[in-house]
Amino acid sequence: MSTQTEIETGHPTLPDAHGKFGSYGGRFVPETLMPVLDDVIEAYEELRDDPGFRAEYEHLLKTYVGRPSPLTHAQRLSAHLGGAQIYLKREDLLHTGAHKINNALGQALLAKRMGKRRIIAETGAGQHGVATATACALLGLECVIYMGVVDMARQEPNVFRMRLLGAEVRGVESGTKTLKDAVNEAIRDWVSHPHDTYYIIGSALGPHPYPLMCRDFQSVIGKEARAQILEQAGRLPDQVIACVGGGSNAIGIFYGFLDDASVKLIGVEAGGYGIETGKHAARFARIENAEWRIEKSDDGKNSQFSILNSQFPQGKVGVFQGMKTVVLQNADGQIAETHSISAGLDYAGVGPEHVYLRDIGRAEYTFATDDEALAAFHALCKFEGIIPALESSHAVAEAIKRAPQLPHDHILLVNLSGRGDKDLNTVMKATKG
């Protein structure tokens, strides 16, 4: 069986039968997990184009999630910037406040069709945990969420939300007690309960078929947005801009425009305190960006340059959490510690399809720093009456940089992946500090 089918343009649809996007993706998991993943692949291949499954999913998107989400012309912000027209795809208006529900619900429905009664998931900031707990409550599935105890302390309201929704939240005490340790614990659970349990991964990440499934479920964003912009503006956007954590909201909106060669696709990563500080989550940013900061020492050597090279994380191809992709690593090949003001972008790995799109030149990737994202957050509040998620504010920041240099009839379509209610404390602290 193969997931490879031809789309209209004659290009093969990726991933290939091995779950590869070019040379990225694939399945790098313990032997014990292979048969479990085989079952998921088989079920998904069967249901992917099944009219009954699609109809049930689309019915729930419409009657429960609140789709289609609107497309908003940000007129005051655009006028203020004095250049291109900015349009916002409003995933912030969905049930649970972000795009994650599109994927969680799709996978929960798949699990139910597979006859699984128990769902497990990992969560860092709690957003994917809440989306999964929501889908499980709706579909009557048992739900166990793994979460590092450090994250649980940081994200107390989301822990409470998950419990309200009927989920069991299991604190993970191993390692750094954060997201990657929660992933390991969830995998351990899955290996020991392969028959009744299904693992929902929260972004376009992990071993095949997860990046494919997540992209398929999120591609509703791009499909809707394309039809909406044609209706409202009478033409395609010039650029589509989305923030990139694991990459699910970005791949979801990009997918609607992949075959439109005139539409530029721009992913925005978390620049944190700045690439030159080494404290960020910009896997595609090059350390060379920081070379201007390097000074020659008295003996004429580039001493700071070597410090940068040895201490600063760089995105390199590696195997991480079941897939081959670009991962932020230290010089010794260890997974780097990341930093972002937005928890959803604070991750060392990126979805394999984005690496492929970067390599073939179809999408470009840039970053916004914490400060730029905060400024964009405030701008959207004041000019449009919309409080965006800090993740989404990174995409808005990029639009704010680009718009003034572009003509008035140029269109920038920004994916507003979520709302900012969850971030108010962070913004309050950052504003006071």
Ligand X SMILES: *Cc1c(COP(=O)(O)O)cnc(C)c1O
Which chain residues interact with ligand X by CB under 6 A? 98, 100, 127, 203, 243-250, 344-345, 389, 391-392, 417-418
Give whichever of 97 and 313 is closer to ligand X, judged by the CB atom: 97
Task: Compute the distance between CA of residue 111 and CA of residue 339 in angstroms, rounded to an integer.
Answer: 33
Report residue 294 as tokens: 């390097």
Choose between 152 and 350: whose C-beta lies nearer to ligand X: 350
Residue-wise DSSP of 291-309: GGG----TTS--HHHHHHH
> Least distance (Å) from ligand X to the CB of residue 235?
26
Neighbours of 113 (CB within 10 A): 16
Could you tell me if residue 22 is left (phi over 0), alpha (psi between -120 and 50 degrees) or otherwise beta? left
CA end-to-end distance (rounded Å), the chain: 56
Q: Nearer to ligand X by C-beta: 37 or 125?
A: 125
- Catalytic site includes residue 142: no
Closest approach of ligand X to the CB of residue 252, in Å: 8
Is 429 known to be catalytic? no
Q: Cβ of residue 281: shortest distance to ligand X, in angstroms? A: 10
Residue number with CB closer to ligand X (116 or 128): 128
**Alpha-carbon separation of residue 85 from 230, 267, 317, 364 (angstroms):** 14, 18, 37, 20
Q: What number of CA atoms fall less than 13 Å from residue 235's CA on the CB side?
A: 10
At position 253, the amino acid (one-letter code) is: I
Distance CA 28, CA 20 (A): 11
**Half-sphere exposure (CA, 13 Å, Cβ side) for 350?**
34
Rounded to the nearest whole angstrom, what is the least distance from the CB of residue 342 to ligand X in the complex? 7
Residue nearest to ligand X (CB): 418
CB of 120 to ligand X, least distance (A): 18
Paired sense of beta strands 264-272 and 239-243, if any: parallel
Nearer to ligand X (CB atom), residue 90 or residue 116: 90
Beta carbon of residue 405, minimum distance to ligand X (angstroms, whole number): 26
Q: Is the backbone peptide bond immediately before 157 cis, with ω within 30 degrees of 0?
A: no
Smallest distance from ligand X to CB 211, Å: 11
Is the separation of the CB atoms in 313 and 328 below 8 Å? yes
User: Of 26 and 124, which CB lies nearer to ligand X in the complex structure?
Assistant: 124
- Omega before 68 cis (within 30°)? yes
Q: Rounded to the nearest 10 degrees, what angle do helices 156-164 and 127-139 cross at? A: 10
Q: Which of 20, 89, 100, 279 is catalytic?
A: 100
Give the active site residue among 91, 122, 269, 353: 122
Q: Cα angle at 80 between 74 and 81, to 5 degrees?
A: 90
Task: Give me 400's structure tokens.
Answer: 């704010």
At residue 171, φ and ψ (nearest 5 deg) are -75, 135
The residue type at 269: E
Please compute Rg for the chain using Cα positions: 21
Active site residue 316: no
Q: Which residue in the list 203, 340, 392, 417 is annotated as catalytic?
A: 417
User: Given the complex with ligand X, which of 86 and 308 has the nearer CB atom?
Assistant: 86
Annotated active-site positions, please?
Answer: 100, 122, 417
